[in-house]
Amino acid sequence: MNKLLQELQQAAAERETRRHFLHTCSTGLGAMALSATLGSCGFFGKSDPPTNDVGAPTLSGGLTTSPQPSQYVPKAQRIIYIHMAGSPSQLELFDYKPELAKYNGKDCPQELLEGKKFAFIRGVPKMLGPQGKFAQRGQSGAWVSDYLPHLQGVVDDVTFLKAMHTDQFNHAPAQLLMHTGSARLGRPSMGSWVTYGLGTENDNLPGYIVLASGGKQPDAGKSVWGSGFLPTVYQGVQCRTDGDPVLYASDPAGISRDVRKQTIDAISQINQQQYEDVNDPEILTRIAQYELAFRMQMSVPDAMDIKSEPQYILDSYGADPNKGSFARNCLLARRLVERGVRFVQLFDWGWDTHGTSADGSIDVGLKTKCKESDQAVAALLNDLKQRGLLDDTLVVWGGEFGRTPMQENRDGQVLPFMGRDHHLEAFTVWMAGGGVKKGFSYGETDDIGYYGVKDKVHIHDLQATILHLLGFDHTKLTYQFQGRPFRLTDVAGKVVKPILA
């Protein structure tokens, strides 16, 4: 009996947190302090928490993932964002620079080096001409190299942004800037902002799903799909493409689904009681995640099983139903958006082509990565189009920065394979569907692809445009945190209106 009393006293002490103490202070000052604390942490989100018929906070407490109205009529209902981690060379794929070939093997002019920072280049590197063979494709006449023969067939559905630029030349901070709007850890990812603003159309699947390939995670880690200071119910859920899509989703041996449901209900009741005592919003997230995980037991295996797809669809993607791959992830992306998932993020690692090895070179490794992905990306666009999904699904493709027009050297020594260093001044991102123009190129770089010289687009401009297509004014999709409203685009960004259909 004494042991039970001790355990009861311990449990009571653990529940008597500082927040709980302030909330229960009889003077009323505790409630005022609690209100200020929760408000500064963004507890009330976009508005005051919703209430039920008797005026009490609902279970969601404002943390709903149900479909929400946008600020105005959207052109895109969902996003498939394909990130080639490491950054493909725009000079071998999309940005045709015949003048650069004339400088091949010559010393880089000093004006391109003075005052510049590079990740690895030191001393005076040699210029490096384009390695791909370019030709104009489709009715739009877009320049695409022979590295991407399948994409050549769908360029009339694509808008190219050819003068993208960024502030970061190292992978992790550049990936964070691209996906969270900040080069520092702690900000919500784009997918989290989107699901926070719009919710999801399928209650049995997460609103934000991540699929990774290439054998490694992005350099910035899982922060690029994290929820930052938003409630964790909005973070990306990474699904595996080999074995069980989500670990521990299946029922344990000897436990029936009914028993599992009773267990979840009991846990939710305990969590709800704790929430009513301490008003911690993360408890609501915990409740929602337990309930979603239970529903996912049935829905995720079905969504992730591509064996039910016709053989001609599998062949068009080049996907093996028994093997995880980028091609399989592209097909899964179509299946997920078909089922109402709001934001699907594909990360493919291995696009960092410095020239330190054959696999990391632009004449061997880049060709290999293109061969692994080109067919699947083109098939994804065609598949979405034939199903009537491309018009309101925005597909985005790109890396975190560009590559230099000079060949990388290290400590003044030429590397054994052809490679290019990181470059923040100019690179290419393309978009398709979801309200952007078809067969359109926006922006230009100089004769050697070093600087953007016309219609430059910053990372924050890209983010503002994506949110605009989803029906949001990027300056008004905000979250109160630490005393001020935060947004994906920080304090910058403008919508790139010329690319809008």
Q: What is the pLDDT of residue 53?
A: 29
Lowest mean pLDDT, pick from 83-92, 292-301, 356-365: 292-301
State the greatest distance between any 2 C-alpha atoms of the chain, in Å, as a whole number. Answer: 89
Query: Can you name the CATH fold of 78-249+297-499?
Result: Alkaline Phosphatase, subunit A (3.40.720)
Query: C-alpha angle with apex 401: 219 to 319, nearest 5 degrees?
Result: 65
Reported confidence tier of residue 51, pLDDT bands at 50, 70, 90: very low
Cα-Cα-Cα-Cα dihedral of 297, 285, 476, 432, to 10°? -20
Q: What is the pLDDT of residue 357?
A: 95
Q: What is the pLDDT of residue 65?
A: 64
Do the beta carbons of residue 175 and residue 85 sit within 8 Å? Answer: yes
Per residue in 231-241, pLDDT (tens digit) is 888 999 998 76
Q: Is the pLDDT of residue 84 over 70?
A: yes
Instruction: Compute the distance between CA of residue 59 and CA of residue 65 in angstroms, rounded to an integer.
Output: 12
Q: What is the pLDDT of residue 12?
A: 59
Q: What's the rounded mean pLDDT across residues 331-356?
A: 96
Q: Is the pLDDT of residue 19 over 60?
A: no
Do the beta carbons of residue 213 and residue 326 sit within 8 Å? Answer: yes
Q: What is the pLDDT of residue 37?
A: 38
Instruction: Compute the distance between CA of residue 329 and CA of residue 343 in angstroms, rounded to an integer.
Output: 14
Q: Is the pLDDT of residue 116 over 60?
A: yes
User: Domain spans of the chain?
Assistant: 78-249+297-499
Q: What's the rounded mean pLDDT across residues 259-264?
A: 72
Q: What is the pLDDT of residue 291?
A: 67
Q: What is the pLDDT of residue 279?
A: 80
Q: What is the pLDDT of residue 413?
A: 80
Q: Is the pLDDT of residue 447 over 90?
A: yes
Q: What's the rounded mean pLDDT across residues 178-198?
A: 96
Average pLDDT, the chain: 86
Q: Is the pLDDT of residue 108 over 80?
A: yes
Per residue in 208-233, pLDDT (tens digit) is 999 999 999 999 999 999 999 998 88
pTM above 0.75, yes or no: yes
